[in-house]
Structure 1
Amino acid sequence: MDISRVLLSPKGRIGPRDFLRGLILLTGAGLIIQVLTVVASIGAAILQYPMLWAYFCVFGKRLHDAGQTAWFNILILFGFVVVTSILNAVLLPILSPNMMPLMTQIQEIGLKDGFGGMLQAQQEHALQIARGTALTTLASFLIGSAGLALIGARLPSDPETNAHGPPTGSSDTP
């Protein structure tokens, strides 16, 4: 597997095996960034934004292999955000129960002072929220990534040459 081709180029096709390898690398990098955000600095979260391109490339090439357009990445990203948000809401009282009073307080500020007040309260407590919800965030990220892996690996490969290149071949099937 050529890492730069899989993670940095949106052109071409990749089969399920290279897709899963690329997704595993991206998930590992995402975990490291989340740990850095909690341990070192909340500013480390900005490192997640360049990873969006790599996710776009990996999923785009996998969609190309299935004969689809890479624009479906928008649906995948939207689904990932929705699923991880729901998982965060469900797992928060289970994995981070000590954060519930603060989160309730921030919601009350939002009801009283509006959205701007809520954002300001979140910003004031950003490090405390990041540290207190770290386990919840990691769990929802891993569960969401596993769902992405399942979806991407299950896409059927186009056995014929398509607009994005020749077939990936049988050596790339899991």
Structure 2
Amino acid sequence: MDQSKVQGFQDLLLKFEGRIGPNSLWQGAILILAVAIVLQVLTFLLGALGMIFGLLSLALLYPLFCIYAKRFHDAGKPAVWTIAVLAGIWVGAFVLGLLLAPLYMGNAIAAAQSGNIYSFGLTAMLVNIVVAIILHLGAAFVVNQVLKADPGPNAYGEPVADAASPNPLA
């Protein structure tokens, strides 16, 4: 990967100043989701040692804040609205977790009785991954549908060039 693409991803994920268009939000959300899934799988596979990866996943909140803040900036809105998006993802994960728990809690009881906790952990991990995919991509979709870009310069910078581009980081 050349230096300009690396710089593009660093700017996208690690800076919350400026503006990004809908395509960049999608790219950032998918990249963060992929990293979150890898960390979830590593946490599951490594057991107690994997808890480090579980804690490391908290660091993904910063890039999430960055991409949503810039998307709000593109619509001329303050970044503080990003907190509502992140809270919505968290509440959605909690609610979906409660709704989906009955689907795999029977496995937990059977696993505890048989001594095979691995099968329950695998089921719980897969449910968590499905919930994460639904919530992260759903939040990006909703934000992109609700926010319309300012066509001209605003308090957060010049209009972005990626609004209609299929690959804004190219």
TM-score (norm 1): 0.77
How many angstroms does 1:167 deviate by? Answer: 0.8
1:17 maps to which residue? 23
1:150 aligned to 2:149? no
Helix, strand or coil: the match of 2:80?
helix
Q: 2:109 and 2:71 mapped to 1: Cα distance?
A: 39
Is 1:139 aligned to 2:130, yes or no? yes
Report the CA distance between 1:146 and its aligned residue.
1.8
Per-residue CA distance 1:28-80 (angstroms, 9 max, x = gap): 00100111111112231011122111001000000000110001111111111
Task: Map residues 33-44 of structure 1 onto 2, 5 A cutoff.
Answer: 33-40=39-46, 41-44=50-53
Report the CA distance between 1:166 and its aligned residue.
Answer: 0.6
1:51 aligns with 2:57: no
List alignment gaps of at least 5 residues for structure 1: 103-126
Asked if the contact 1:93–1:100 (Cα under 8 Å) also holds between the matched residues in 2, the reply is no
Pick one of 82, 87, 92 that aligns with 1:78. Answer: 87
Matched residues in 2 for 1:130 and 1:43: separation?
17
User: For the residues of structure 2 that align with 1:129 and 1:47, how far apart are their CA atoms?
Assistant: 23
Question: Would you say how many aligned residue pairs link Structure 1 and Structure 2?
Answer: 151
Distance 1:163 1:88, change over 3 A: same
Deviation at 1:158, TM superposition (A): 0.9
Runs of 4+ in 1 over 3 A off after TM superposition: 127-132
Residue of structure 2 in register with 1:97 after alignment: 106
Query: Unmatched 5+ residue regions in structure 2?
Result: 112-117
